[in-house]
Amino acid sequence: MKLLIRINLLLMLLLAPLADAAWQNTDSGDFSYASRPVYDRVNRQYSAIVTLTNTGNAISGPMRVLFDASSHDIMNSQGTESDIPFIALSINELAGGASHQFTVKLSLTRAALAMDMRLQADLAPDTGLTLADNQIALFYKREDANYQGWGLHVWNGEGCGDYGAPTTDDSHFANWADPYPVDGEHPVYGAYYILTITPGASCYNFIVHNGDNKALGNSNSRFEPANGQQAFAFDGYPELWYEPIESRPFSIDGAKAHWMTANTLVWLTATNAAEYRLYTSAEAGLSNVNNDSLANASFTPLTMANEDPAIYAQDPQLSGFSGFYLNLTDTQAKQWAKQQLLAVALDAQGELLEATRVQIPRLIDSLYTNGPDDADEAELGVTYTNSTITATLWAPTATGVNLVVYNSSKHAIASHAMSLNTQSGVWFYSGARTALDRQFYQYDISVFHPLTQQNEQLTVTDPYSVSLATNGRYSQFVNLHDEDLKPTNWDTHTVPTITDPEDAVIYEGHIRDFSILDQSTSAAHRGKYLAFTELNSVPMQHLQRLQAAGLTHFHVLPANDIASIEEDINQRVDLTDSVAKLCQLNSAAPVCGVQNEQDTLLQVLQSYDPSTTDAQSLVESMRAMDGFNWGYDPQHFAAPEGSYATDPDGVSRIIEMRAMNQALHQIGLRVVLDVVYNHAASSGLSDNSVLDKVVPGYYHRLNETSGQIENSTCCENTATEHKMMAKLMNDSLVSFAEHFGFDGFRFDLMGHIPKQGIMDAREAVRAVDADTYFYGEGWNFGEVADNRRFEQASQLNMAGSEIGTYSDRQRDAVRDGALFTGGSINQQDVIRVGLVGNVASYQFVAASDAYVSTYDYQWNGQPAGYSDDPADTINYISKHDNETLWDKLQYALPEGLAIQDRVRIQNVALSIPLLSQGIPFLHMGSDFIRSKSMDRNTYDAGDWFNQVDFTLQTSNWNKGLPLAQDNQNNWAAIGEVSANPNSDFTTTDIQLSAALFTEFLHIRSASKLFHLNSAKDIAQRIKFYNTGSQQIQGLIVMSLDDGIGLDDIDSNNDAIVVLINGSASAQSFAVPNANGFALHQSQQQSADTRVQSATFSAGTFNVPALTTAVFVKAQNGSQGYGLSALPPYAEQPIYLRGDFNEWDTSLPFSYQGNDTYVVNADLLQGDYQFKIADQDFAAVNIGGEFTVPVAAPAILSNGANNLSLSLIADGRYEFVLDAANSANPTLTIIPDDPNAIPPPYGNHMPLLRGDMNGWGTTSPLTYQGNGIYRGVFMLDAGGYNFKIADQDWGGQRRPKSRG
Amino acid sequence: MKTTPKILTLLCLLLTTSAQAALVTNGDFQSCDFAGWDNYTDGVRHTSPNTDFAIVNNAGACQAKVSIDVASGASAFFANTLSTEIDFTAASNAQLWLSFDWVFSGFDDGSNLADVFFVNFTNSLGDITGADANPGFLFEPTSTYGAGTYSMMLDNRFINQSGWFLDFNLEGGFTPDSFSSTLLIDNVALRSAPTNVPGPPMSALLLLGAAALFTRHKQSIRTI
């Protein structure tokens, strides 16, 4: 019998590792036993034979009995589970109704036996969910078991299959803001979500998230039904298991170790281990971790050590990681960095406690960039001498690199082994110029890759490519100095300049949008770089008109080589192609078999009813194959994009990009390139992956614990905090500036890049282009938010740098329409903040009536104003992102508002950034009412939804419901708004808007007052009227001063007053001291007849409804008086000075706006002399030579003798000086204590004297304080004459009230 | 006293006509000593005569006597066990039959916590095992005094197993005033018979045993 038991045990041991089973309670075990224990003489224990009877269904699997309670100690327990002893049974099967006996050994307690037993079976676990064939269930388990707010974002497609109804009909479907909620919580496996799928696909996309926090890492998760219908996930880890498991099994836990230098490593280790080791394997043999696999692997001990604080200062996200010392030389570390690594924690018995992958970018930086002549000083890419070409590739972790050379047919013609410079990690090969020039090449790299945890043989292009074959499949040997790569006069052409960065006005366009459907551009050049060389085309004529009016910069969306556009024209389908071509490439397109095959896709789209989803359906079917994409998916950072060249294969992209810039320079515009250094198009082993094949795991920003590439930017985030990624950024920027003629750079998601990196890059570019200008998106979010990993190049951090960040303050305030719809006056404040260029120090009277700086003005929990210099701010209300201005406003405006008013609102809105300090940034086409048919994200919405018509004839409004991907949830609202006939604008409206835009552009450029150079200038010159809680809603009044006392920066004007009237009625507003103003000359002749009626008269400005009017006070000859923006006594402080403070300056007044100064003083009862004066009793020396009353206004006089003051009580007194009339200001002294106000009639008691009391003195009024007398009298009904008088009917200060 | 058991035993023997020789040494205590047997008090084996174990010699018809009597000098605190190792050597197709006579008597109160008597196999691990080779007893613990003949066919998994002991246990009670009890054991026999010999169904044997026990119980009152 014992033999049998042993066999069973053996079987159990063999089965255990194979089965994903778990102990589960059963409620079908019935136990019976004698209450009398029997003596076991062998063990000298009591013993009980227990009979277990299965009262339920058959149980199959190992079983054990837990003793929750017992009168005797259980002597033969085989272990404990949560301190509860258990005995394993010898059986694996127990049929329903069957019994089994087992023995319990007991302590020698002479008492009746009582035991509370529980049967557990080690069963293949079961969640208890019953799913239909088309259902899947996802379990998500958190340690805190708190699933509040954790929902499931599910969507169709994107490489996986579609969900099915009812999931897809649910309002939570594809709804990030309101995700699919938990269906239930399982006590063992956590929260679960049950979803219906359209069966047949290999995967279904989902993200478990709570707001912006993602539960399973940053990557999208994929449910793969082939593995099972139920998947199990654990918070913080991306893996899915398809068998029920209670907890995440032991496995390599992310990549929590960071090797920083040859001798230092930090590790977020949870264990208190006896020993820590760093293992390495040249053969990548550390993928399956267990004691055996480690037995023969090489390792070095890790010794816990306190790290240099600089380590954590450099990477604050690693704070809390434990420090370790390891004893390796640089040479050893360089070798180990090429190999698979694993950090391991062991207990005292040598058993594995923890194992984690190792991140090495900081080690790489330490080993290869700290010297004076190593990687970061190297010239990478291809370099030419007269006779040779050298190809250099930084690949320090590669174990071998070959240069493979291809001819123009892309046939390999040579392969050269490259040599490694071990100091820099650079591989190089030099060959004859004649053999290599203009040939194509790739690198074959042998390298360990952390994604696959294997040694890989990879083929990759050069990250420093400047020229490429079609689709970037091969790099090309090109010398950018070659004459044949330069358009005529390239080297000598004139680049327009501006004096100050604040003088810039930027127009943001997309190279393809600019001309793709323009009939005046030659067909071959439509959508290409060369369209810009056709100076007489309608789009170029438009740019020239804008330039003449004041436009200075044309900004092109990314034009470095991008991954998403098919460059092979044969594989592409565009709107001008036929239905037949689309159907050849995508037979599932909705037009196939439906539309005439010979029709162009443009014709088909034009035939659709715009209220339907037909257009988007067709665009959707071709968008993966068309030639349009915004281009935020960089593949090669230093090469021009090929799809914009007439020939994508080879050097045309270089010549033509240069020609574009030369042409734009020729018409007087500087050119900005939109650059994307926050992510790359791809990573890992993907076809479009470049950086991550060359130095795997280095160029991308990895999550500090999971080791996964962060993707908060949408895509594969890059790590510009790593030196060689920063170098790639700098080198490519310098190349685009030096060799392609770009005059500025706009950084996509700049907040994901270190501030220092951006500053360094600007210095690098300034070395070749001194007046370059940098700006970018300074948003603060993602893994870098709040300077979590480094000081970001984000909005607030960039203050004072003269590197611009887009301001969302004014943008949101304008786009939400509050100015035009009677909305919050706080939004008007925020518009004002934008009008002064977000300058943080600027003070104004806010809607709360407080006089505050824009920095102290709270905007969504942040300072509203954050810049130190106007060039820190890019003001915009429309750009490629989100809906166009027109589209966005249509959501906000009342349905019944007439089209003419809507157009006026569009124009008033557009005038705001143009009249704002800082740098205005304008979306191409917004000047002629560009619409994208309400699409909020047209990055891949094709030419149909992105069309711009420079002929000003047609609009892009209401061209069909926009693409489902980003808009489907909003289709109902979009359909309603689009169907409103009041939003149908006409050619006349378009042309009016274009004309008004040009007028405002001219008004801005004609006066330096609209683009001031400093915060000081702004404070000294700009003032707002109509502020505070009582302001007129919809009206902003701003003065700009250029009068006497200030540098004469506008020789034509002494002052300007801008009135932005967003209200539906004409407004009049009197501005103190305003005189001599007239409507701006441009507006007197405006294309808008309404603005021509704006007038100025006797200090009052009159502006029609929905109009921005600009008035100027012309300067005639020498500088005259303007309109001061300063407080009445300018910038000097003034003080309350008198006997009470020995006439010192201890009581300064603070300026409150609205010409008012205030100071609080704690004074004692007594008589005083005092003045209000500046430091020297000079320009401000206010007196009056009389006794100032308490709690009554008194008019003072600047320059007069001392004032007197008599206080009847100690206390605090507020001195309020209204200096609207600065020569004769009004002072009011208000005590905190009302009783400190003396009786107005002194010792004279006022009496009620009249018919009711025979004009006697029997009815006195008693003083109540605060200037009030009071008496209560009984009077008969009737009419009376009376007076309030004192005893003798007069004398000095007699009561004045008369009946 | 022994008439009826002998008849029953005879009946069994008649039914198992081809039974082998006895496999228990000195099962009938005819050597009038404990040769082949061990005496344990509280799990400790006696190596010399003691007051807990005795041979009752009734004119040469000897039987074993186990006492548990705290008040009258028996040394056991927990239990006394009369034990012998069993030789299960038999043909693989054999049937093994175990039988013995017993008398359990004394002065305790018969309650659940009183002195008990039980019989089981055990091994060096103390696995208390019954006739079916499962945990359990050959003779369930009882505190009810009585007498009888036990006969049971054993599970054939015992065949050729070694290291098994047959234990007759007399366990002291937990009652506050525990009175003495005595166990008489005799005619312990293990026999094997080929399975091709038709035997009575187990139920018949049990019935026979029950009838014997009933009868014996009555007789025992008279004879003790």
Best of A39, A89, A94, A110 to substitute, by most chain B Cβ atoms within 10 angstroms, is A39
CB pair distance less than 8 Å for B124 and A108: no
Chain A partners within 8 Å of B125 (Cβ)? 2, 42-43
Please state which of the ranges A330-334, A1084-1088, A1294-1298 shows the lowest mean pLDDT.
A1294-1298
pLDDT tens-digit series, residues A860-896 = 889 999 999 999 999 999 999 999 999 999 999 999 9
> What pLDDT shows up at residue B16?
40
Q: Which two tokens stand for residue A738?
A: 């030096």
Contact B136, B120 (CB under 8 A): yes
**For residue A593, how far is the Cα from the chain centroid?**
44
pLDDT tens-digit series, residues A140-161 = 999 888 999 999 999 998 888 9
Option in A2, A4, A41 nearest B40 (CB): A41
What is residue A449's three-state secondary structure? strand
Task: Give the span between the Cα atoms of A778 and A785, in whole angstroms.
Answer: 11
Active-site entry in A748, A783, A943, A949: A748
Domain parsing of chain B, residue ranges = 3-223
B23 pLDDT tier (thresholds 50, 70, 90): confident
Percent of chain A with pLDDT over 70: 98
- Please tell me what DSSP assigns to residue A1265: E
pLDDT tens-digit series, residues A33-58 = 999 999 999 999 999 999 999 988 78
A1291 pLDDT tier (thresholds 50, 70, 90): low
Task: Give the span between the Cα atoms of A700 and A539, in whole angstroms.
Answer: 39
Residue of A nearest to B80 (CA): A41
Chain A partners within 8 Å of B161 (Cβ)? 1
Task: Give the span between the Cα atoms of B113 and A756, in whole angstroms.
Answer: 87
Please state which of the ranges A846-860, A893-907, A1173-1187, B55-69 shows the lowest mean pLDDT.
B55-69
CB pair distance less than 8 Å for B116 and A41: no
- A1146: β partners: none
Task: Give the span between the Cα atoms of A369 and A376, in whole angstroms.
Answer: 5
Chain A partners within 8 Å of B128 (Cβ)? 38, 40, 47, 49, 103
Task: Give the span between the Cα atoms of A762 and A768, in whole angstroms.
Answer: 10
Chains A and B form CB pairs within 8 A to the count of 80
Residues 6+ apart with CB under 8 A from A732: A464, A560, A637, A638, A675
Contact A365, A337 (CB under 8 A): no
Give CA separation, B4 vs A973, A1253, B1, B217, B220, in Å: 103, 142, 7, 11, 11
Degrees to nearest 5, angle at CA A904 with A1065 and A916: 95
Chain B partners within 8 Å of A114 (Cβ)? none
Percent of chain A with pLDDT over 90: 84
CB pair distance less than 8 Å for B129 and A1: yes
CB pair distance less than 8 Å for A1 and B122: no
pLDDT tens-digit series, residues A772-788 = 999 999 999 999 999 99
Residue of B nearest to A111 (CA): B174
CATH architecture of B3-223: Sandwich (2.60)
- Chain B closest-CA separation from residue A109 CA (Å): 10
Catalytic residue status for A566:
no
Structural domains of chain A in order of their starting residue, each with its CATH number: 2-123 (2.60.40), 135-241 (2.60.40.1110), 257-359 (2.60.40.1130), 376-535+551-569+628-794 (3.20.20.80), 570-622 (no CATH), 1022-1114 (2.60.40.1180), 1135-1236 (2.60.40), 1239-1299 (no CATH)
Q: Is the pLDDT of residue B215 over 60?
A: no
Option in A39, A102, A103 nearest B169 (CB): A39
Furthest C-alpha separation in chain A = 132
> What pLDDT shows up at residue B176?
66
Chain A partners within 8 Å of B164 (Cβ)? none
Q: What is the dihedral of CA B176, B177, B182, B188, to 10 degrees?
A: -10
- Chain B closest-CA separation from residue A55 CA (Å): 20
Contact A1038, A1031 (CB under 8 A): no
Option in A44, A105, A112 nearest B42 (CB): A44
Task: Give the span between the Cα atoms of A1122 and A1009, in whole angstroms.
Answer: 12
Option in B43, B143, B171 nearest A44 (CB): B43
Q: Is the pLDDT of residue A19 over 60?
A: no
Chain B partners within 8 Å of A47 (Cβ)? 126, 128
Option in B42, B157, B167 nearest A1 (CB): B157
Binding-site residues on chain A for chain B (CB distance < 8 A): 1-2, 4, 34-36, 38-45, 47, 49, 101-103, 105, 108, 110-112
Q: Which two tokens stand for residue A1001?
A: 């552009």
A12 pLDDT tier (thresholds 50, 70, 90): very low
User: Cis omega (within 30 of 0) on the bond before A166?
Assistant: yes
- Chain B closest-CA separation from residue A62 CA (Å): 18
CB pair distance less than 8 Å for B81 and A39: yes
- Chain B closest-CA separation from residue A11 CA (Å): 20
CB pair distance less than 8 Å for B136 and A35: no
Q: Which two tokens stand for residue A115?
A: 């035991």
The helix or strand, by DSSP H or E, that contains position A1262, with its residue range, turns out to be strand A1262-1265
Residue of B nearest to A40 (CA): B126
Contact A700, A717 (CB under 8 A): yes
Q: Which two tokens stand for residue B157?
A: 């998994």
Catalytic residue status for A275:
no
Option in B112, B129, B167 nearest A36 (CB): B112
Q: Which two tokens stand for residue A277?
A: 């080791």
Neighbours of A299 (CB within 10 A): 18
Q: Which of A819, A858, A855 is nearest to A837 (CA)?
A: A855
Binding-site residues on chain B for chain A (CB distance < 8 A): 40, 42-43, 78-79, 81, 83, 112-113, 116, 118, 122-130, 133-137, 141, 143, 157, 161, 167, 169, 171, 174
Task: Give the span between the Cα atoms of A1116 and B37, in whole angstroms.
Answer: 138
Mean pLDDT estimate for chain A: 93
pLDDT tens-digit series, residues A57-105 = 788 888 999 999 999 999 999 888 888 999 999 898 999 899 999 999 9
Q: Is the pLDDT of residue A897 over 70?
A: yes
Please state which of the ranges A102-106, A386-390, A749-753, B201-205 shows the lowest mean pLDDT.
B201-205
Q: Which of B97, B69, B67 is nearest to B82 (CA)?
A: B67
Q: What is the ipTM of this complex?
A: 0.81
Q: Is the pLDDT of residue B7 over 50?
A: no
Best of A41, A94, A101, A113 to substitute, by most chain B Cβ atoms within 10 angstroms, is A41
Backbone angles phi, psi at A1092, to 5 degrees: -60, -20
Q: What is the arithmetic mean of pLDDT over B76-85?
A: 90
Task: Give the span between the Cα atoms of A756 and A578, in whole angstroms.
Answer: 51
Please state which of the ranges A150-159, A273-282, A899-908 shows the lowest mean pLDDT.
A150-159
> What pLDDT shows up at residue A10?
33
> What pLDDT shows up at residue A1236?
85
Chain B partners within 8 Å of A42 (Cβ)? 43, 122-126
Chain B partners within 8 Å of A39 (Cβ)? 42-43, 78-79, 81, 169, 171
Q: Is the pLDDT of residue A993 over 90?
A: yes
CB pair distance less than 8 Å for A47 and B128: yes
- Chain B closest-CA separation from residue A35 CA (Å): 8
Active-site entry in A721, A777, A1054, A1286: A777
A344 pLDDT tier (thresholds 50, 70, 90): very high
Q: Which of B98, B92, B77 is nearest to B173 (CA)?
A: B77
- Chain B closest-CA separation from residue A101 CA (Å): 6
